[in-house]
A and B are shown apart, each in its own frame.
Chain A
Amino acid sequence: MEGPRLVRRNEVPELSNLLCEVFGFDGIYDKAEFTKGLLRPVQLRGGMIVVEDGRPVSYILNVVDEVSVYGCRFKVASIGGVCTDKAYRNCGYAGQVLAETLRSTTAAGARVMIVSGNRSLYERNHCVPAGDLLAASTSREQMPSPDPSLTVRRFSVKDWGELSPLSAAEPVRFVRPYDFFAKCCCWWDVSRPEVWVLSGADGPLAYLSLLPPWRREERGSRSVGDYGGSRSAILGALPLICEATEVDTVSFRFPRQDRELSYLMSSQGFALKPSTLSGTHRVLNLPGLMHDLRPYLAARLSGSQLRRLSFDQSGESCAITLGSERLDMDLSAAVVLVFGGKGAPRVGGELGEVLRAVFPVPFPMPGFNYV
């Protein structure tokens, strides 16, 4: 056994075989294009493997991005493509690759980890479902009449220059530079989400990314993967998009702090239900995260509260103190306390008041940054 270590360029064809075998990509992705995508710098920089018999047998891809939450920026690591060759399972390889990924991404300054999965491997490592989202779905018959003042067209990567300002104006978002699509994870190339540019008379008003389902029998449905810009234009254009693509059902999952979308959807009769972010999340560095979020805290807490509030982390244990009041918890509890979710610890006293004033911290959906 060799590793965990970063994948080498000459190991990429074997890595592609491993991924296609484990995830059943054959027939969904073009394998040659998929393999080419694995050679991108972002894939090589974050591709951690265990090698047996001269080939990768266990793999995790990590990508460290930045998110902006109400102007506060912090690094997040996203992991995906987690797989182990059938013949090498139950050897602890996945756990070793994950441990090395946790170590390296924390060392790289990441505060939070996003995991595109929810199996027990992640749960044991304090990656838990989190986030304060709303979910709803609508069928074509339920949608209001399309707005005739809007036009819709399919997006191509060269449109990003026009849409990037819409993404940058989102208050809670992944930070995406102008050349984002040249550098992002290769799932974009192969999964080909259906991205739509929605325009009014004066130019683009919004964009909407719709993800087709994996299962062939559900081809008439889509889920919203990413969006930016005018929410009313998105809902106004939805019937046009569904008509153009012969899609019958669209499901939404969006952060609760998006008051515009939640108001518009509820006023149009959508039934909104509480939900969480897809996959699971883990806090990597609680004190670092809260340090990066200090301006967010300063807008919600008095100077005295802010001065007395401190966050600590030692291994898998966290503590929050406010003067003489203290909350101890493990990392799993910290994730749901900070970002929302089921099972958040209940706290009384002034510390409880303070925590309710600042948590849950909004967190963006991965969308185009999905790994």
Chain B
Amino acid sequence: MSEPRVPRPDELDDLSDLAAISFGFEPRRPGERRRRHSGHGRSESRIIAMDGKPVSHIRIVYSHLSIEGAKVKVASFGGVCTHPDYRERGIASRLLDHCLNEVTGAGTKLLIISGMRGLYRRIDAVPVGPVWTASLRADSLACDTVELTARPAEASDWPVLAALHQAEPVRFLRSARFYAGAAAGGHSRAHLIEHDGAPIAYLCLSRIWDLPHDAPVRRFREYAGSRAALLAALPAVFRATGLSEIQVEFPMYDREFPYLASRYGIPLEADTIYSHTIRLLDLPGLMRALRPYLQARLSPSDLRGLGFQQADGVCRFSFAGEHAELNLSQAGFLVLGGQDKPEIGGALGRVTSAIFPIPVPLPGLNYA
């Protein structure tokens, strides 16, 4: 078994085959060059090789969140897979531990993983990020309006989408170059909503991995712009796509969507970010980065009295002589909002409930 490492160029065809086997992609035909399933580079991959070929893989992507203007470095893990013939040998756990150490050493504050399986729960990655969800059918929406149109976004529309995304208060930071990569990734399709011919919102719809690829059902992956226009344009989206169902998902910190949904009579269910888990990597560093966010929610004296520590898998929250010690999973639920959030009373409870959960965006086009 090799040490965890970046794959060599001559291993990329085998890596492509590993992804095809693990995720049900169409296998490479004999003699065909490797397929770039997600458009990412070799340097983002970490593998363990056995018997001369990659048998376990994790993709690492570094990025930054902008949370009401506070910049937070995060890492995303995706494409986590192990060849079926090499499972149950601890190979994935070993690779995961290696990658976890790597991103922690790189000054990353949060780790976002596209997956919810036990492997991730064992490293204290937890389902968090409160969202509202609803399943909408083409015939259940009575909010159509003729002034709105929906059409698939073209490559030339990316600057428009970028400007709409940039106005979101909680988002991934992206450069102009990002969108070319996202377009090449091809996991989801962006639809531009226009009002009287002017761009007003967009949404990205992605397939649901549990369903057949051709199932006429898609899920909200990302959205930006006017929520009212977006909801009112969904009938146009159904017409443009031929879908029968769209599963909408929007973070609970978005105050516009639930209010509009209630006006439209759309029943909402509480959940956490779809098919993702998040692990706290550096609680004190995260809270330092979030200082502008905290300053809007706590008085200067409360802010001075609040302390965060993390050591040996235990997070300590302290305020005014009170403290709470939580393991990383519990701390993740408290800080990022999850159904198993621990209850904290007293003065410490007052200040933690004023600042938590920290809003995090849907992974969207930054899906790893």
Contacts and interface: CB of A to CB of B under 8 A. Distances in A.
Contacts of A161: 297, 354
Contacts of B170: 169
Interface string B238-263: 00000000000000010110011011
Contact of B297 (A165, A229, A230, A267): A165
B174 interface: yes
Contact of B175 (A71, A164, A171, A298): A298
B315 interface: no
Contact of B201 (A149, A176, A177, A259): A259
Interface stretch (A186-194, A242-250, A300-308): A300-308
A266 B299 CA distance: 39
B146 to A, nearest CB: 11
Given A229-B255, A232-B260, A260 B228 contact: yes
Given A229-B255, A259-B200, A266-B195, A169 B169 contact: yes
Contact of B176 (A73, A172, A299): A299
Contacts of B169: 168-171
Nearest to B303: A178
Given A70-B167, A149-B262, A259-B200, A300 B159 contact: yes
Contact of A232 (B173, B253, B256): B256
Nearest to B199: A259
B322 interface: no
A147 B292 CA distance: 34
B166 A263 contact: no
Given A266-B195, A299-B175, A168 B293 contact: yes
A164 B297 contact: yes
Interface string B217-230: 00000000111110
A64 to B, nearest CB: 17
Interface in A319-371: 357, 362
Contacts of A257: 167
B295 interface: yes
A168 B68 contact: yes
Given A164-B297, A178-B299, A302 B176 contact: yes
Interface string A274-317: 00000000000000000000011011111100000000000000
Given A164-B296, A299-B175, A357 B255 contact: no
Tier of interface size on chain A: 35 or more
A72 B297 CA distance: 19
Contact of A179 (B175, B253, B300): B300
Contact of B228 (A147, A205, A206, A232): A232
A200 interface: yes
Interface in B170-193: 170, 173-177
Contacts of B227: 232, 260
B226 A260 contact: yes
Contacts of B167: 70, 171-172, 257, 259, 362
A165 B170 CA distance: 13
A68 interface: yes
Interface string A177-213: 1110000000000000000000010000110000000
A354 to B, nearest CB: 11
Nearest to B256: A230
Nearest to A302: B176
B176 A177 contact: no
A62 interface: no
A230 B176 contact: no
A139 to B, nearest CB: 22
Contact of A205 (B68, B255, B293): B255
A184 B58 CA distance: 51
A167 interface: yes
A15 interface: no
A232 B293 contact: no
A259 B259 contact: no
A233 B262 CA distance: 11
Nearest to B294: A178
Given A260-B228, A264-B228, A296-B166, A71 B71 contact: yes
A300 B253 contact: no
Nearest to B301: A179
B301 to A, nearest CB: 9
A300 B163 contact: yes
A260 B201 CA distance: 9
B162 interface: yes
Interface centre among A71, A165, A175, A301 (most CB of B within 10 A): A71
A216 B163 CA distance: 43
A178 B306 CA distance: 15
Given A166-B255, A301-B176, A357 B296 contact: no
What's the dominant secondary structure at chain A's contact region? mixed
B13 interface: no
Interface centre among A167, A176, A267 (most CB of B within 10 A): A267
A70 B298 CA distance: 22
Contacts of A75: none
A231 interface: yes
Interface in B290-314: 292-293, 295-300, 302
B108 interface: no
Nearest to B292: A175
A263 B68 CA distance: 23
A270 to B, nearest CB: 14
Contacts of A299: 162-163, 165-166, 173-176
Interface string B123-166: 00000000000000000000001010000000000010011111
B272 interface: no
B168 interface: yes
Nearest to B260: A232
B299 A179 contact: yes
B167 to A, nearest CB: 5
Contacts of A302: 176-177
Interface string A95-113: 0000000000000000000
B69 interface: yes
14 contacts: A68-B69, A70-B66, A70-B167, A178-B298, A178-B302, A231-B228, A236-B263, A259-B200, A264-B228, A266-B195, A298-B175, A299-B173, A300-B159, A300-B163
Top 6 A-B residue pairs of the complex, sorted by shortest distance between their CB atoms = A168-B296, A71-B69, A263-B226, A71-B66, A259-B226, A260-B226
